[in-house]
Structure 1
Amino acid sequence: MSDTATPRPESAQLACPECGTLITYYDVEGSEYYACASCHAYFKYSGESKPKVLGNYKSVPPPELGLLPIGTTGTLAGQPCRVVGLVERAELARNGKLQYRWLEYQIYQPVTDDYAQLAVFKGHWTVIRPAKQTFKVKSPSTRHARVEVSGETYKIYNRYQSRVVWAVGEFDWNIEGDDQLRFAEYISPPTMLIQERNKDRETWYRAEHIEPRAVAAAFNVKPGDMPAQDGVGAVQPDAVRATIPALTLLTGLALGLLLLAQVLLINRHPPTTLLSENLQVVADTAAAPGTGRVLVSPSFTLGHQAALEIDLTATLSNQWLELPVSLVNEQTGQGFEFTKNIEFYSGVESGENWSEGSRDADAVLAQVPAGRYHLNFYPFTEAGPAAPAIVVRVVADPALWSNFFVVFCLLLLYPLYQYIRRASHETQRWNESDYGPINA
């Protein structure tokens, strides 16, 4: 007769020593500590004849707490698992009060006989497992404490002590003993390293972010039943960050193509000066004071349809000049009109030279047809000061960098928006920490 291994039982039951309620537990060989959901007694039982009551929780789970009830089965990281315990913890503030409460589901994986904690804080979930190694903390006593692992830097995010508010289910360690521990969290999203210390030992855990929809799928929960997220989780990945390399590359290519197109356009039709002339304003004595006679420029020829840039410089000295201008096609009579107001004032005040305004002005006329042209000027200035002279220069196919810079800025709008989103994400993340740059 061959020996046959006794199969491990999937579950067992024991009676609560306080109220007699039957408690089903699933890690039959490993669990030693239990919390009764009926009377909230916390007791130890490890096969001895009588369980030992260690205390009773004054705080109790809310009635609506039922997202992952004790006994719920699922699949986590490809392994079948079961929810066997649930704890609400809170951070102990310096004044002795409890703050920042969160839930930790005790997840048992019977195939591997391993445990994990599934923690949720403000709708953000992490899976916590033993790191099975220790890490060296650099500058441990400062706000810049960090852990270097394989080229990654984990920055200090939080230091605290915690307390158990209430618990239900089974546990393979004394959860009340955690009150004597101090914790430090170091983050490099989507991963967190958790240092657990007391005067005798140091243990490390690794926590990984998990999306709510993945938790819902793992335990067959309706996505709509998952708690809403508030803010940004400590190790919640930034969705924008993954797109930054591709976005940077595409933006760089687009800007490069834009610059190339501008250079090719300039080289195809380089700027050509068609007219450069000095014109003297002469007062029209028959008209109102300040009115100048009509000035007519020499003729010039535009060989193809193009943009024209008309640059004007007036020899003004503490006066203004209103200058209507008409570009006239001598063959068709078609005209292009615009008006420029030019003024320039200067002087000395308290020993300091000052000036305001400008003697220069320019205008760009787009898509001017080929032909022979001249310019008509209708100057009007204030009476009294000497009549100014006007230097006019007409350039065909000017390098219109203004259009280039408009498109340049438009191409940068989306990357800038993504940068702002990323900065906002990190700001919200560190709002929950006393060690972030915004709290420095």
Structure 2
Amino acid sequence: MHYICPVCKTENTIDADFKIGEYVCKSCSNLIDIPKNVSTKVVKKPIENVVLEVGQKGTIDGTEYTVTGIIIRKYGSTIFWREYYLKDKKGGNAFLSESDGHWVLLYSIDKMEIKRKSWNSIILQYGTLNLRRYETTECHIHAAAGFFEDSLDFGLSTYKEYVNGTQMISEEKSKDGVQYFFGKHISRCKVKKAFNIANLPNYTGIGIVQPFYVNVKQAINIMAVSALIICLIQLYVVATRTNASVFEQEIYFADVLDKEMVSKSFELSGGSAPLKVEISSDVNNSWANVGLGLVNEKNNEIVFASKDIEEYHGYEDGESWSEGSKDESFNFCGVAPGKYHFVISAQRQEPVQTSLPTTYRSPDGNLSLSRDAYGTISVTNNLTLETTAFGDAKLIRKDSMSALGKLVHQTLGKTDIDSLLNANAQAETISATPENKSVKIKAEWLPVSFGNFVFVLLFLVALALGLYFGRRAFERSKWFNSSNSPYTYS
């Protein structure tokens, strides 16, 4: 359809088939009464955040629409919102309303479908849906463009908006009567895709029918199903697990000196679980180390672990002390069922060998020699009680200048000092530390851990509660600016 503006002679066209009562000339902005073909007034052009154009086509939910008109409504001095009039190919009407970047798709409905207890009731019923009045707004048309079936009312109109979740009823009261529109939220992405728009205004605040960021009911259902599946898996794993000692052996350090030992194979059946390894060795003021490689014989994958065993004790300031332990343990986590063996290496602190303590006293009693467990020789002048320690007998023989050195030479002459001391020794050598010969290794496949299972369930419960209370806080925020909010605010 096309129309020639009687004012500026500009051709105005629209690719839509419906009865048009008036249109706004795209060139001179005169509002043209089609039956009379005269201008009734000049209107402002819609420019405030308008993203669609008259004649533009788009598809929403499988239905193709043509934008036939654009109206900007104004509330107060600074609040604007946009209404886009849509027509489908069958002549059906729809409306896109946008405010602060939030979009609502609306359809006209028969006022006979609306029920309420009283005219002033804040609750309105539409079918099975109960909606609560959000706000009452008085506004007027600020700007317009396009083609319209009915005459535009530039007078003051009263809007009452009733909301339930993401759905709403808009009640428009003007001098021509009362009209009702049913609307539901439509996302920015859907509008952008429907009309192939490059950019849309960003939304601010929370729209009156804006949905929560997550579908809480659907999310809780998914988490409930997930929790059930996890419980069933845990039940299966527990039912099929056999908790048993799978490996136990004493390893002698001499057998693994500078080499590794391959253990016998053992079978793990059931669900994945930790493999606990306990090691013990008779360390005494010494240490030992065990290296274990757990080999999966099916794929030859190896997991390595190393553990030190150390134990020390003694006396200090009249009090005994000790640290470390002869026993240690660690876990191979999440071991899957299958056939395994260990590759074992071990080493220890070697025992310290030293001489037995011994003493020698000269026949005249003037000189005493004593050798401690570490080979240090002390020389004592029994008359003056002067004592000097020497690292070995050779150092004593080299000392010919000191009083003690001269006394040794005068008393012993060239007699071998080590021979004198060894003659009084009970045995030639002993170990300064007890000899530790072996390490014992024991492996046990533990019961299936319930820790992660409980953690996951608690996480799902916490997430569900977080979503529930998050949506409740979201709804409170949505109704904050309403004079009919169902919530109380402190």
TM-score w.r.t. the length of structure 1 is 0.55
Matched, 1:80 2:25: no
User: What code does the residue aligned with 2:3 have?
Assistant: Q
For 2:461 and 2:26, the matched residues in 1 are separated by 58
- Residues 1:406 and 1:13: Cα distance change in structure 2 (over 3 Å): closer
For 1:407 and 1:79, the matched residues in 2 are separated by 44
- Of 168, 171, 174, the residue aligned with 2:151 is 174
Tell me which residue corresponds to 1:356: none
For 2:456 and 2:105, the matched residues in 1 are separated by 46
For 2:28 and 2:99, the matched residues in 1 are separated by 26
For 2:131 and 2:177, the matched residues in 1 are separated by 21
The CA RMSD measured in Å over matched residues stands at 4.5
Matched, 1:203 2:179: yes
Matched, 1:162 2:139: yes
Tell me which residue corresponds to 1:56: 42
For 1:403 and 1:239, the matched residues in 2 are separated by 29
- Of 207, 216, 224, the residue aligned with 1:249 is 224
Tell me which residue corresponds to 2:433: none
Corresponding residue SS for 2:113: coil
Tell me which residue corresponds to 1:68: 52
For 1:29 and 1:227, the matched residues in 2 are separated by 31
User: What code does the residue aligned with 1:56 have?
Assistant: V
**Alpha-carbon contact 2:17-2:91 (below 8 Å) kept:** no
Give unmatched runs, 5+ long, in structure 2: 244-274, 285-308, 312-327, 331-448
TM-score w.r.t. the length of structure 2 is 0.50
- Residues 1:148 and 1:52: Cα distance change in structure 2 (over 3 Å): closer
**Alpha-carbon contact 1:134-1:203 (below 8 Å) kept:** no
Tell me which residue corresponds to 1:41: 30
Corresponding residue SS for 1:225: coil
- Of 427, 430, 433, the residue aligned with 2:479 is 430
For 1:200 and 1:168, the matched residues in 2 are separated by 21
- Residues 1:148 and 1:246: Cα distance change in structure 2 (over 3 Å): same
For 1:98 and 1:423, the matched residues in 2 are separated by 33
Corresponding residue SS for 2:64: strand
For 2:488 and 2:480, the matched residues in 1 are separated by 8
**Alpha-carbon contact 1:87-1:103 (below 8 Å) kept:** yes
For 1:404 and 1:335, the matched residues in 2 are separated by 35
Residues 89-125 of structure 1: CA distance to partner in whole angstroms, max 9, x if unpaired? 123xxxxx3453111111122x312222111112222
Give unmatched runs, 5+ long, in structure 1: 1-10, 92-96, 269-304, 307-328, 337-365, 369-399
Tell me which residue corresponds to 1:116: 94
**Alpha-carbon contact 1:140-1:146 (below 8 Å) kept:** no
For 1:408 and 1:75, the matched residues in 2 are separated by 43
Matched, 1:136 2:122: no
Instruction: Please report how far the alpha carbon of residue 192 of structure 1 lies from its aligned counterpart in structure 2 after TM superposition.
Output: 1.5
| Residues 299-378 of structure 1 aligned to structure 2 (within 5 Å) | none
Instruction: Please report how far the alpha carbon of residue 126 of structure 1 lies from its aligned counterpart in structure 2 after TM superposition.
Output: 1.7
For 1:40 and 1:434, the matched residues in 2 are separated by 38
**Alpha-carbon contact 2:113-2:126 (below 8 Å) kept:** no
For 1:240 and 1:77, the matched residues in 2 are separated by 21
For 2:159 and 2:207, the matched residues in 1 are separated by 18
**Alpha-carbon contact 1:83-1:108 (below 8 Å) kept:** yes
**Alpha-carbon contact 1:12-1:28 (below 8 Å) kept:** no
**Alpha-carbon contact 1:31-1:172 (below 8 Å) kept:** yes
**Alpha-carbon contact 2:55-2:68 (below 8 Å) kept:** yes
For 1:239 and 1:256, the matched residues in 2 are separated by 29
For 1:256 and 1:83, the matched residues in 2 are separated by 54
Residues 244-291 of structure 1: CA distance to partner in whole angstroms, max 9, x if unpaired? 331452476489679989x99xxx9xxxxxxxxxxxxxxxxxxxxxxx
- Residues 1:250 and 1:153: Cα distance change in structure 2 (over 3 Å): same
**Alpha-carbon contact 1:145-1:155 (below 8 Å) kept:** yes
Instruction: Please report how far the alpha carbon of residue 423 of structure 1 lies from its aligned counterpart in structure 2 after TM superposition.
Output: 3.2
**Alpha-carbon contact 2:50-2:82 (below 8 Å) kept:** no
- Of 51, 69, 73, the residue aligned with 1:89 is 73
Residues 56-106 of structure 1: CA distance to partner in whole angstroms, max 9, x if unpaired? 33x5433x8663211212333433332121111123xxxxx3453111111
Corresponding residue SS for 2:153: helix
Identity of aligned residues (%): 22
Matched, 1:236 2:210: yes
**Alpha-carbon contact 2:227-2:460 (below 8 Å) kept:** no
User: What code does the residue aligned with 1:75 have?
Assistant: T
For 1:123 and 1:129, the matched residues in 2 are separated by 20
Tell which structure's C-alpha radius of gyration is larger. 2
Corresponding residue SS for 2:461: helix
Residues 298-355 of structure 1: CA distance to partner in whole angstroms, max 9, x if unpaired? xxxxxxx99xxxxxxxxxxxxxxxxxxxxxx9x999999xxxxxxxxxxxxxxxxxxx
Instruction: Please report how far the alpha carbon of residue 16 of structure 1 lies from its aligned counterpart in structure 2 after TM superposition.
Output: 4.5
**Alpha-carbon contact 2:161-2:170 (below 8 Å) kept:** yes
- Residues 1:252 and 1:435: Cα distance change in structure 2 (over 3 Å): farther
